[in-house]
Structure 1
Amino acid sequence: MRQPVLTIFYQFNPWHSTIGGIQTVIRSFIKYAPSDWTVRLVGTAHTSVDPTGQWQDAELAGRPIQFMPLIYISNDNIRQRIPTTVKYTLALLKHRFVSDFLHFHRLEPSLAAFGWTGDKTLFIHNDIHQQMAVAQKQSDSTSILWQHLPAAYFALERLLVHQFNQILSCNSQSASFYQQQYPAIANKVALIKNTVDGDIFYPLSAPEREAKRIQLTKQFNLHPETHFILFAGRLHPQKDPILLLQSIAALEHPHVHLLVAGDGELTTVMQAEIARLQLTPRVTLLGALSQADLANLHRLSSVLVLTSIHEGLPLVALEALACGTPVVTTPCGETPHLLTAESGIVCDDRAPQTIAAAIQQVLLNPDIYSVQSCLRAAQPYSARTVISHLYDDMLSRWQP
């Protein structure tokens, strides 16, 4: 009997990945695919000499896949003059793919698939309508390209959304918006859980966690009682890492150190702000890290802090909780619905003093924000379980 074929479209290379939650979702979708499925990924090349436009047999997380790089991108952590999505979409227009299921993680590339057959799913990872509204309100010219052309984006969206068999969003507000905006396809729009891979993100025993935390303080030449505060993500205006630095400056705690795991166009701006706020002894910029290295930092940190202006459901919050680490977040996206009173704090506003006070509360009350409370909050989002259900749902619609 013929195997069902899933083809995933996204502008990344899973073996040399850039920063982002979408990449993590796709990796898990491949890793936990049933063995009797053929999974293909149309992505990007790692070097300029890699062949493009050709299928390659490969392996990811122990699973065989077929991979086709369409274009070469030198460093997608830094935004280019021509956005990667535009380059990827233009390259995709030169191809026609036949597949039982086609998954898109950005709307724009689905323009190429407008006439293709197959069961199509669009994954919504960010509330782009809210994103554009915030950027325009704040006169932020650096957020996203579409904020300068909102009418064009909405026209493209109206053209393309009706081709999908499913539209799955990790953000409840975004899901509601699509249902209201497009009533003819409201029954195709659903809320989906983002996922966390328990094979990678898991807690340590209390003695091991403490021993490794002390080891890390020695590595950075810090006081042995230092608490590590973690930020992980793209250094992008959406994440507002400058507000994060201002919050650390407002934090009155004798022994804290901020670890920033990420890269992006605000790196230079952050370096200048660290110097201005005299935070050099209290902050380390680590650059982009592998999943394994990031998981190690989650396990040794006392709190993860998110200062985003807008979000879907950031995977980094789930990853922290799965490692037993509580979360402090600004009031945006789906994270406030994820956190319990014992697994983190949702700040009432975006003032640095408010965020600093929330961090202080977590640091002073480790018994309240316990490892077990964090694990309970993350448990429903297990990648193995959530993705298995999604494949079961696809299989129920498959017509061999």
Structure 2
Amino acid sequence: MTKKLILTIFYQFNPWHSSIGGIQTVIRSFIKYAPSEFEVRLVGTGDLASASGVWQEGEVAGRAIQFMPLFPLEDDNVRGLIPTTVKYTTALFGRCLASDFMHFHRIEPSLAALNWSGEKTLFVHNDIAKQMNPATANNGILWQRFSASYFALEGLLVKQFSQIFSCNTESAKFYQQRYPAIANRVAYLKNTVDDEVFYPLDPKQRAQGRKALAQEHNLSEQTRFILFAGRLHPQKDPMLLIRAMATLYIANVHLLIAGDGELKDELRGEISFLGLSNRVTMLGAVGQEKLADLYRVCSVFVLTSVYEGLPLTVLEALACGTPVVTTNCGETPKFLGADSGIVCSERTAVAIADALGKVLHHPENYSASSCVRTAQPYSARTVVSSVYEQMLNRAHQRSA
């Protein structure tokens, strides 16, 4: 029997807890679509009931994996006094988890892996230049205050990677220019959407689903829904969306907010202050299947981020046949067509409300088929399988 190749994925999350996040979704796709030649391991975080620092058997997306929680983490949507990345990186020191292939979704934990053998790949999920710029990043990450230190650390660590994938073309160019000696290792990689999970309904089913959702929330059957899904975090700036709702004067329109995070209480306060309690519902953390159901019956998906890479929620909404309203950030403006959504020219409450109004008043201009067609090139099976095929080829070359 041929020995399987081992892929170890490093990221600070628990795959069995509800957590909306693009990185988590990417990791699940790499687990789900891993070829049979690979054994997949995930080094993450656990809960109080799980033993830390030991391998455990588990199943993610229908695939058996080996899972090692480094420490318990009750809620990965909320920032603590000590950043989770610091805890995670510290917990890796003193261990050797070298394997044939290693995928890192934050660069900091690779500090512990400098001397580990094996092929290492870094995934960059945001426009790093904007993320590190205090003028544009809305206090999204702690490193903004210490950008010189971050880039010094990055310069030390980045050369160990055989590949650096970015889902944002501007970020890929940034790395190629900043590190010319390894520019050939940097590449743009599409983010992905799993069309086995995210797919549209026919018009009749969609209408029935919308009415059922309205009944569930004790609203008029004529209600149309706007959906936001993501972490309640300064990067996503959900406060801006609430202020946009205050200027959106359309009857029987209701905003659903799926997600959790540090801005939860502040957001609730703003909803109450603006008198929007009967027009906005906060759902909390929502699992993937429930989120897919929401995409399929909502009239429009909205994203008000300060910066992005290529947000998976946009691809998921489109794959479910739902048009998108987004701020002008990340990769989305480069592929979102006039028949699948609107990119706001300004990141203001008025501009967002105006764009939402256009979609709600003229749904015929944003057909489900156009939305689905826009998302098709980002199929998870296609993109992930291509990455694995390249990994297998390199493994065969090394063993030849």
Which bin holds the TM-score, normalised by the shorter protein?
Answer: over 0.9
1:27 partnered with 2:33: no
Aligned residue in 2 for 1:290:
287
1:42 partnered with 2:43: yes
Aligned residue in 1 for 2:110:
110
Aligned residue in 2 for 1:276:
273
1:205 partnered with 2:202: yes
Aligned residue in 2 for 1:179:
176
1:6-85 alignment runs, 5 A limit? 6-46=7-47, 48-85=48-85
2:298 to 301, 314, 318: 301
Shift of 1:338: 2.4
Shift of 1:308: 0.4
Displaced runs of 4+ in structure 1, greater than 4 A?
A: none
Aligned residue in 2 for 1:235:
232
Aligned residue in 2 for 1:253:
250
Shift of 1:132: 2.0
Shift of 1:290: 0.3
Shift of 1:61: 1.9
- Identical amino acids, percent of aligned pairs: 61
Shift of 1:288: 0.4
Shift of 1:321: 0.3
For the 8 Å contact 1:228–1:302, the answer to whether it is kept is yes
* Separation in structure 2 between the aligned mates of residue 255 and residue 162 of structure 1, nearest angstrom: 54
What is the RMSD of the two structures over their aligned residues, measured on CA atoms? 1.2
User: Structure 2 counterpart of 1:289, which letter?
Assistant: V
Give the number of aligned pairs. 396
Shift of 1:296: 0.6
CA shift in 2, pair 1:232/1:132, >3 Å: same
* Separation in structure 2 between the aligned mates of residue 365 and residue 18 of structure 1, nearest angstrom: 33
Tell me whether 37-46 or 173-182 shows the greater mean CA deviation.
37-46
Shift of 1:126: 1.2
Query: In the TM superposition, what whole-angstrom CA distance separates every residue of 1:10-39 from its partner, at most 9, and x where no partner exists?
Result: 111111143311001001100010012111
Shift of 1:195: 0.6
* Separation in structure 2 between the aligned mates of residue 366 and residue 379 of structure 1, nearest angstrom: 21
2:160 to 163, 170, 191: 163
* Separation in structure 1 between the aligned mates of residue 22 and residue 61 of structure 2, nearest angstrom: 17
1:324-343 alignment runs, 5 A limit? 324-343=321-340
For the 8 Å contact 2:232–2:262, the answer to whether it is kept is yes
* Separation in structure 2 between the aligned mates of residue 192 and residue 312 of structure 1, nearest angstrom: 11
Query: In the TM superposition, what whole-angstrom CA distance separates every residue of 1:299-318 from its partner, at most 9, and x where no partner exists?
Result: 01000000001011110000
For the 8 Å contact 2:19–2:287, the answer to whether it is kept is no
- Provide structure 2 residue ranges, at least 5 long, that are not aligned to the other structure: none
SS class of match (1:268): helix
TM-score by length of 2: 0.97
Shift of 1:347: 0.5
For the 8 Å contact 1:17–1:23, the answer to whether it is kept is no
User: Structure 2 counterpart of 1:22, which letter?
Assistant: I
SS class of match (2:113): coil
- Provide structure 1 residue ranges, at least 5 long, that are not aligned to the other structure: none
Shift of 1:255: 1.5
Query: In the TM superposition, what whole-angstrom CA distance separates every residue of 1:152-178 from its partner, at most 9, and x where no partner exists?
Result: 101000001110000000011100000
Aligned residue in 1 for 2:135:
137
CA shift in 2, pair 1:30/1:255, >3 Å: same
Shift of 1:139: 9.1
For the 8 Å contact 2:137–2:235, the answer to whether it is kept is no
CA shift in 2, pair 1:139/1:97, >3 Å: closer
Shift of 1:128: 2.9
1:211-230 alignment runs, 5 A limit? 211-230=208-227
* Separation in structure 2 between the aligned mates of residue 179 and residue 314 of structure 1, nearest angstrom: 22
